[in-house]
Structure 1
Amino acid sequence: MDELKIMAPAAPGGGWDQTARSIQSVLQAEGLASNIQVENVAGAGGTIGLQQFVNRSAGDPTATIVGGYVMVGAIIANAAPVTLADVTPIARLTGEYVVVIAPADSEIDNAEELAEAMRADPGSVTWGGGSAGGVDHIAAGLFAQAADVDPRALNYIPFSGGGEALAAILGGQVTVGISGYSEFASQIEAGEVKVIAITAPERQDYVDAPTFAEQGFDLDVQNWRMIAAAPDISDEERQTLTDTIRTMSESEAWATELETRGWVNTYLDGEEFQTYLNQEIEATTAILSDLGISQ
């Protein structure tokens, strides 16, 4: 490809911006595209950038946008005028599973004990995590459902970042913390906190921790990131983009980029990704309604 435009619907420095610039770097390094421009349009969980992208890029095969699971929730919570149905999904690129941690001296050691505490008195179990309606909140709500607890009874305290949530956990201000593994990695490795469970479908090499699934709770949640193309492009143009991104994802340069940034390769494209995306939107719509965040 000669030209490619990538919109990062967030401010410079964040996860979507890093994703866009990693794509730019690897495509150039691998000679898969030559003239690659990254543009940042921040605001409202990516929905402001998404609306601009849809409105001005229809039919443009050189236009792409990065996004992810946060955007799915933001579209629903903000009743955004455009949705992911208005773009052309290309591929899921990376993902990060969510971990639930507790202070090392907590009386709660596993998912069943956490569920029992919530069943006895949901309000007494405080959860510290990211923004209301975000992936951490959704994962906590899904756990409540799996534990036969009303998600609306969840005592969830949103923090602006993993660092603030971690301070609350270490200070004993909350019962458990919930966030992406990378936010808590150093404290987990130092033994300052213990992992109750991870939301992956199977155990992960990078952390010695049980999954919710193996403890009897059907939970599979990842904060995934994707790339999508403009609306109204041809099947041939979509395939060209898909082939380019797939080749990038299989390169050594991409593997190195992921390792450097601590990202997990969860690549998925084609009809499989479209099906996955539809399922994520349906499930997220349901849980946000159950949490009282959307209608």
Structure 2
Amino acid sequence: MTLTRFVAAAVLAVGLAGPAFAQVDDPECIAPAEPGGGFDLTCRIAQTGLAPQFDKPIQVTFMPGGIGAVAFNLFNTTRTDDPNAIVAFSSGSLLNIATGKYGQFDENDVRFLATAGADFGAVIVKADSEYETLDQLMADFQEDPGGVVVGAGGSVGSQDWMKGALLLKSVGADPRAMRYVAFDGGGEAIAALLGGSIEVYMGDVGEMSSHLDAGTMRILAVLAPERLDAPFDAFPTAIELGYDVEWTIMRGFYMGNDVSDEAYQTWADAFAAAYETEEFQQIREEKGLMPLDLAGEEMDAQVKALIAELRDIATEAGLIQ
């Protein structure tokens, strides 16, 4: 299962007349972090975007701890059958599950429900870089994986590191040989790129919006399944250039594993209906995410297959012993 097939999958077909409210009395979205971060953003999209779908407003509750681990464990112990609550997750959460950072529970212990939207990885260099095309960079990766200095806002094993690892793997190079510099955030990594401390920045498309007009950086490729809409339609995907690499920064929601099928379907129907509304599309755009509309059992199955794929990659890269 590839990320391409995941993103391209059809949304679960549902009627748009509205969900069965009887299954959800007090809708709640758990943001497994302090207020103000990405999980908060994800829950706010649900709170606003699903407002027309429920009789009551969705309450947002914050549950920080272990970058999602506390909430993940709670919904595997005392709230496994809660029909009212959904929990926000990101691609980073999926990677944490794959590498065992959430403890004894894994992807088969929850039910993945729906997506809020997505961003996509990007391969970025300085405007005056010697690398004018992705092919040139990939040739150097293949010849000497440690000869190119790569940096990003995340440690070894993070989402950003994984982007570079996948690129090396696509040309048969060992991801462990990558010369990778970790920064505290994307801002520091961009400063290092512009200052010449690193040669390639493994960033995200969304964060490049404010930098494109400055003309200081160049996107060699986006790690999306197909070309994006303007202003990013000018940039090729790694896939179309012949490299089977993509990275979808997904934001979405899961529920406890023992939730009834009726309650699960109520939420899935609510998301499927909301995807068609102007309210949902507007709040997603305001929060800086791009469309990625998947809900229901098909989404659950494909996320679990994606985690298994991430686990294989992490094992191959030496992140799992």
Shorter-chain TM-score: what band? over 0.9
Q: Do residues 237 (structure 1) and 260 (structure 2) align?
A: no
Of structures 1 and 2, the one scoring higher in RCO (CA 8 A, sep 6+) is: 2
Instruction: Please tell me the root mean square deviation across aligned C-alpha atoms, in Å.
Output: 1.6
Q: Tell me, yes or no, if structure 1 residue 262 matches structure 2 residue 288.
A: yes
For 1:59, the equivalent position in structure 2 comes to: 81
Residue 32 of structure 2 contacts residue 65 of structure 2 at CA under 8 Å; is this kept in 1?
yes
Match of residue 17 from structure 2: none
Identity percentage over the alignment?
32
Q: What CA distance in whole angstroms lies between the structure 2 residues aligned with 1:136 and 1:84?
A: 21
SS at 1:95 equivalent: strand
More deviation, 141-150/31-40: 31-40
TM-score normalised according to structure 2 size? 0.87
Paired with 1:70 and 1:58, the residues of 2 have a C-alpha distance of 22
Higher relative helix content: 1
Q: Write out aligned runs for 1:107-256 (5 A).
A: 107-132=130-155, 133-206=157-230, 207=232, 208-256=234-282
Provide the aligned length of Structure 1 versus Structure 2: 294
Amino acid paired to 2:185: G
Deviation at 1:106? 0.5
SS at match of 2:93: helix
Offset of residue 79 of structure 1: 5.5
Mapped partners of 1:87, 1:191: distance in 2: 44
Measure, in 1, the Cα distance between the counterparts of 2:54 and 2:278. 14
Deviation at 1:268, TM superposition (A): 0.9
Contact 2:127 2:216 in 1 (8 A): yes
Match of 1:42 in 2: 64
Residue 94 in 1 paired to residue 120 in 2?
no
* TM-aligned CA deviation for residue 285 of structure 1: 0.4
Q: Which runs of 5+ in 2 are unaligned?
A: 1-20
Is the contact made by 1:200 and 1:211 (CA closer than 8 Å) also made in structure 2? yes
The DSSP-based 3-state class of the residue aligned with 2:74 is helix
Give the Å deviation of 1:31.
5.1
Deviations 1:51-93, CA, capped at 9 Å, x for gaps? 1232221211112111021111112332622223211211122
Contact 2:274/2:280, CA 8 A, preserved across alignment = yes
For 1:18 and 1:170, locate their aligned partners in 2 and report how far apart those are by CA, in whole Å: 29
Query: Would you say the 8 A contact 2:121–2:246 is kept in 1?
Result: no
TM-score of the pair, normalised by structure 1: 0.94
- For 1:256 and 1:185, locate their aligned partners in 2 and report how far apart those are by CA, in whole Å: 18
What amino acid is the match of 2:36?
G
Q: Which runs of 5+ in 1 are unaligned?
A: none
**Which is further off, 272-281 or 218-227?**
272-281
SS of 1:152's equivalent?
helix
